[in-house]
Amino acid sequence: MTFPVPLQQSLSKLSRVIDSLIPRHCLFCLEQTSGNNDLCPHCRTHIQHNKLACQRCALPLSTSDSSICGNCLSHQYYYNQVYSPFIYTDAIRYLIRQLKYHNKIHYAQTLARLFIQSSTQFQDFQLPEVLIPMPMHTQRLQQRGYNQALELARFFAAHFQLQLDYKSLLRTRPTLLQAGLNAKERQKNVKNAFNINKHAHISRLSGIQHIALIDDVMTTGSTLNEAAKILRQSGIKRVDAWIIARA
Ligand SMILES: [Zn+2]
Ligand SMILES: [Zn+2]
């Protein structure tokens, strides 16, 4: 269901007020937490922050000698900037896997909140005009019942008051799960897997310059690059990615 923007804003404010009144408990140890935190301070230490990372693709770096990783120095990618505050280990991996494979759809809110809290540390964090969740092919969507990227994007859109568009970018063919494939296979697997929904009254991309794609995990970046390619080819000037965790 879509609401007009002013009503949407009041509803999201109201839900934040209600949210802050309900006592919360840590998802891991069940201790009561302060504010609207879903994890207690102790359990938060099990989250690995992606502090020393490539300034372009957010790949965790082993030294601070260069701020750009070898891949980004030698390759041209279609995406501009990846923001990913966490490394795909421990607590974050657990939360993402629960969200994706165990129907814990409410973990999207937890993960989105953690991202939002960390976003203040991003250098030069520029908000886009539109958020686009990484689309899922209808076949997989039917199996899973929901798209975890869309669930994350809903919270981002409400928090940052941004337009959410989950209709303009389509996954036009089914692909294998990227997990278990090597870098070359991943690239081949997602090649030409996306397209723009040209249906005039559905596509809202005309006149839009800056988009951020939303996803839970980024590994080699081939899926992101393929999706960014089609967006850039359709005239979008800047395509960023907001990713919860970087592998
Ligand atoms: Zn805890
Ligand atoms: Zn890089």
Domains contained in the chain, number:
1
At residue 82, φ and ψ (nearest 5 deg) are -105, 130
pLDDT band for 201, please (50, 70, 90 cuts).
Answer: low
Please tell me the predicted confidence (pLDDT) of residue 2: 55
Region of poorest pLDDT, from 1-15, 49-63, 69-83, 156-170: 1-15
How many angstroms separate the alpha carbon of residue 41 from the centre of ligand 1?
7
| DSSP per-residue codes, 92-125 | HHHHHHHHHHS--TTHHHHHHHHHHHHGGGSTT-
How many angstroms separate the alpha carbon of residue 22 from the centre of ligand 2?
41
Measured in residues, the chain has a length of 247
How many angstroms separate the alpha carbon of residue 185 from the centre of ligand 1?
39
Question: CA-to-CA distance for 52 and 59, rounded, in angstroms?
Answer: 9
Mean pLDDT calculated for residue range 154-165: 96
Residue 70 placed within a domain? yes
Question: CA-to-CA distance for 202 and 166, rounded, in angstroms?
Answer: 10
Torsion of CA 30, 35, 36, 40, to 10 degrees: -30
Residue 152 placed within a domain? yes
Please tell me the predicted confidence (pLDDT) of residue 202: 62
Ligand closest in space to the Cα of 28: 1
How many angstroms separate the alpha carbon of residue 149 from the centre of ligand 2?
22
Please tell me the predicted confidence (pLDDT) of residue 42: 94
Which structure tokens are listed for 27? 């998802």
pLDDT band for 181, please (50, 70, 90 cuts).
Answer: confident
How many angstroms separate the alpha carbon of residue 95 from the centre of ligand 1?
13
How many angstroms separate the alpha carbon of residue 103 from the centre of ligand 1?
21
Ligand closest in space to the Cα of 73: 2
Question: CA-to-CA distance for 193 and 213, rounded, in angstroms?
Answer: 15
Residue 21 placed within a domain? no
Residue 85 placed within a domain? yes
Buried b (16+ CB within 10 A) or exposed e, 112-143: bbbbeebbeebeeeeebbbbbbbbbbeeeeee
Ligand closest in space to the Cα of 25: 1
Domain that holds residue 120: 54-246
DSSP 8-state code for residue 219: S
How many angstroms separate the alpha carbon of residue 15 from the centre of ligand 1?
24
At residue 187, φ and ψ (nearest 5 deg) are -60, -45
Please tell me the predicted confidence (pLDDT) of residue 3: 59
Residue 213, domain CATH: 3.40.50
How many angstroms separate the alpha carbon of residue 112 from the centre of ligand 1?
18
Residue 2 placed within a domain? no
Residue 166 placed within a domain? yes
pLDDT band for 208, please (50, 70, 90 cuts).
Answer: very high
Residue 32 placed within a domain? no
Three-state DSSP at 15 gives: helix
Give the tens place of pLDDT for each residue, 90-120. 899 999 999 999 999 999 999 999 999 999 9
pLDDT band for 204, please (50, 70, 90 cuts).
Answer: confident
Is the per-residue pLDDT at 179 higher than 90? no
Give the tens place of pLDDT for each residue, 34-83. 887 899 999 999 999 999 999 999 999 998 888 999 999 999 999 999 99
Question: CA-to-CA distance for 13 and 159, rounded, in angstroms?
Answer: 9
Please state, rounded to an integer, the average pLDDT across all residues of the chain.
Answer: 90
How many angstroms separate the alpha carbon of residue 33 from the centre of ligand 1?
8
Please tell me the predicted confidence (pLDDT) of residue 186: 86
Ion ligand 1, residues whose Cβ is below 5 A away: 26, 28-29, 40, 43
Residue 69 placed within a domain? yes
